[in-house]
Structure 1
Amino acid sequence: MEEKILKLTAKDLAELVALERLCFATPWTEKQFRLCLAQDHLYVLGLKSGGRLLAYISFFLVGEEMEILNLAVHPKKRRQGLGTKLLCTALNFFRRKNGKKVFLEVRPSNVAALNLYKRAGFIQAGLRKNYYPDNGEDALVMVLKITNRSI
């Protein structure tokens, strides 16, 4: 089936919340997503196949900076390059808007995500102690300086 990446809207809310619950220990609520989707500077891109949401990435764009909030792939669809496709799409979108720096936080225990971000060129820039509320795990702060090359 053909995969499509598109900007998600309020009509995708139920599917977005369901995927979020499958992927995260402390998922965002429907209300949080509804508020975010109403903001002009927040984007949620979804990867769909056969009309089903398989993955999404959410990020803020503020001036020359981007902050990636979440990147989620359905557990049964992991390790198939969907996260890479979404990350590359978001980074190239930001590059076309003349963005300069991208930030994100990631769990040190999330080896798959760390490997994805490192392959994309992110480097560790800091540490947030006791960042995650479910278990008190620290967060690695990672940064990517945007160049003219596509990811």
Structure 2
Amino acid sequence: MNLIVVPMAEKHIKAVEEMEQACFPTPWTEDGLRAELTSDTAVFRVALLDGVPAGYGGMHFVCGEGYIDNIAVLPAMRRCGIGKTIVESLINFAERHNGVFVSLEVRESNAPAIALYTKLNFQETGRRRGFYTKPPEDALILTKSFSK
């Protein structure tokens, strides 16, 4: 098994859009994903398993602050370390660019994701009530701070 994480490119857009469809009740569109390719603040990565897109993640990085938008792994590929590798690549980007912290929201019922983020030293720093729809649910705000 050969897993690498690369910057998202035009050639990945269709596969990433299909991941969005498979993973989220309100998926990003192909056009929305494509717009991230030209955003000065976007840091989007695709995990390739034996050359095939298996997951992706993206964040916006502004003034030393990273805000993770999405982490998605194809359902058949979960529990293999792909999500962890993607999140680590975003954390590494933030650290290399003098980041202060990386933050994200996660459904409070998403125990596997919360376990992953906790393992990567994210800590709960807040809650957004009713943040998610389809179904309605609170979001936990998790943050990983970097010591300077």
Any gaps of 5 or more consecutive residues in structure 2? none
Alignment of structure 1 residues 55-134 onto 2, 5 Å: 55-134=55-134
Contact 2:100 2:147 survives alignment (8 Å): yes
Deviation digits for residues 115-147 of structure 1 (CA, Å, limit 9, x no counterpart): 011111111111111111212211011111013
Q: Secondary structure at the match of 1:139?
A: strand
Q: CA RMSD in A?
A: 1.2
Q: CA deviation at 1:63?
A: 0.8
Q: Secondary structure at the match of 2:89?
A: helix
Q: CA deviation at 1:51?
A: 2.5
Deviation digits for residues 28-55 of structure 1 (CA, Å, limit 9, x no counterpart): 1112112222202101101112331001
Partner of 2:16: 16
TM-score (norm 1): 0.93
Deviation digits for residues 31-90 of structure 1 (CA, Å, limit 9, x no counterpart): 211222220210110111233100111000001100001111111111111111111111
TM-score (norm 2): 0.95
Contact 2:12 2:46 survives alignment (8 Å): no
Partner of 1:5: 5
Name the aligned partner's letter for residue 135 of structure 1. Answer: P
Q: CA deviation at 1:108?
A: 0.6
Q: Secondary structure at the match of 1:115?
A: helix
Partner of 2:39: 39
Partner of 1:137: 137
Contact 2:43 2:90 survives alignment (8 Å): no
Name the aligned partner's letter for residue 90 of structure 1. Answer: L
Aligned length: 148
| Greater mean deviation of Cα atoms: 54-63 or 84-93 | 84-93
Q: Secondary structure at the match of 1:45?
A: strand
Q: Secondary structure at the match of 2:131?
A: coil
Hey, what's the Cα distance between the residues in 1 that align with 2:51 and 2:81? 18
